[in-house]
Amino acid sequence: MSVRITRLLSVALIGACFITAPAFARSHPKAKASAPSKGPTLIWRGDVTTANGVVDEVAQAWEKTGHGHIELQPFNTASGIDAVASGAADLAGSARPGDGSAENANLTFTPVAWDGLVIITQSSNPISGLTLKQVHDIYYGKIHNWSEVGGNNAPIDVYAVASPGDGVEYSLRSLLFGRGNQPVAAPRLYVNTRKLEEGIALNPNGFGVATLAGISGNPKIKAIPINGKRATVANIADGSYPLFIPLYLVTNSNSPKAAAAQSFVDFLQTDPAKAALRRHAILPYQDGSALAAMDSSRRSNILAEVGARASHITPVSAPGATYAARVAAAPTSPDTLAAKMALENRRAEAKETARLTRVSGSVDNVTVSSVDYASGSATTVSRTRGKDFGKVTADVSQAGPRIYKVSKGDTLSSIAKRHTVDVIQLRQWNHLKNDQIKLGQILRVSNSSG
């Protein structure tokens, strides 16, 4: 399965998959100290979450039994699934199920554990909780400031993983929007959840999604309670915490090592493997059998609460889909046309201004300036009027842009409302890293003088 984002970032990132594995081993000296085993070596590649929560310690237990060696290459879900499909890896870790695409035809996604999706921010952020509706609206571009949800008067800096096939992102969007390929208003993009977590740990206004296993023991990050429920193993086990997901191991029936790979999947049901899972805040799959039974009603309840609906359209193949294709099929509200218009206007703006400095690669309308950090957004929509997105403003003409001089009492949000534009647009047009502005500062407030 070819993954467009992996191809586009290949020059910068191809070594990361293989550099990561030794680095991972150095941080886990026990794995290096394991005695040589008699069985075959299996290559595992996939998301960092599954590596930390499922494969790491389980692989050690597997080797101790003499089955063989597991070579870990943690990176992200898309790279893992692609590697197993192409034969470059024997096992993949995924925080989402298969997408039904032709590329996945020979792949088996076996659920092996339960984890919790957690909405995270820096530990110093005083926010005490969010509702599912508020989380939905932040990702949907309707809420921009922490003060709107009971926090400080500061912008919400939404972070996401750039790959459209990322398991954590895909699973959260599936729950909140009824489809995993829903574009969201996230201008800060990273190559995987680990890099996202590192970014949020440095920003008290950061906001993103990770997993309970992934952040367990990290004092710089906190999981925000959802609907009054904290993300704990107990609350995941009884279903009271709503954002629980299965974790999968992916195998290829055509692989020469298919039998050995399946043996490792089966090993996850043994007592030593289950004990290793529990030590990483992971619930063994058999321990959460009731969660599978309540999954359908849980999803329906979430969609009803946030005001979305499940898609009955065959989803675009997430790992290879472009944002253009996904915007055409994915948005859940009546404002689909507005979202599509916003996307086209963003393209027109980029073509008109031709400001493509510091670009090392392009990821579906996202300008990539480095491996760790990408600036841009999946879908930029104004929320100036209306119940949902309101009005999209991104006019492009031959005339020059309108400007505005910052007056006393102005905020970036108030200026955006006054000129019927979006805060994210103001940041982009004026090259602002945050919402801080100065008295007398000259700001560009439109694409052109209209």
pLDDT tens digits for range 276-322: 899 888 999 999 989 999 999 999 999 999 998 876 433 323 332 33
- As a CATH number, domain 4-114+245-291 is 3.40.190.10
Between 183 and 118, where is the model more confident? 118
The residues pairing with 156 across neighbouring beta strands, listed in sequence order, are none
Contacts of 196 (CB under 8 A, 6+ apart): 159, 160, 161, 190, 208, 210
Of 329, 416, 418, residue with least CA distance to 380: 416
Res. 323: pLDDT tops 60: no
Q: Alpha helices, DSSP H only, in 140-283?
A: 167-177, 193-201, 212-215, 233-237, 258-267, 271-279
For 215-245, b/e burial (b = at least 16 CB within 10 A) is bbeeeebbbbbbbeebbebebbbebebbbbb
Res. 38: pLDDT tops 70: no
Domain residue limits, the chain: 4-114+245-291, 395-450
pTM to 2 decimals? 0.63
**The domain defined by 395-450 carries CATH number 3.40.50.1820:** no
pLDDT tens digits for range 118-165: 999 999 999 999 999 999 999 999 999 999 999 999 999 999 998 767
Strand (E) or helix (H) holding 121:
strand 107-122
